[in-house]
Amino acid sequence: MTPPNEIEMRLEALEIKASFTEDLVDKLDQIIISQQRTLEALVSELRDLRAQAASATEGGGAQRNLRDDLPPHY
């Protein structure tokens, strides 16, 4: 049989581990929520950029050349 003092010590150690685990889970949950918000913002921005690109090709007819954006000294 295990002495009562040892059982109490083991129970206390488990309670401490459970407390740290709960704290870690809460932190990870907050990180996931933050990453989900970032992901949603990026998806929205990508959608907007695709819409801009589609409207630019429909309205302009020809594709833009990146060299057109270079300053004249190049």
CA 42, CA 49: separation in Å to the nearest integer? 10
Cβ-Cβ contacts under 8 Å for 63 (sequence gap 6 or more): 57
pTM over 0.95: no
What per-residue confidence (pLDDT) applies to 40?
Answer: 97
H runs (alpha helix) in 1-74: 4-60
Give the distance, in angstroms, between the CA of residue 32 and the centroid of all CA atoms in the same chain. Answer: 6
**What are the backbone angles phi and psi of residue 38, rounded to the nearest 5°?**
-65, -45
Does the pLDDT value for residue 36 go beyond 90? yes
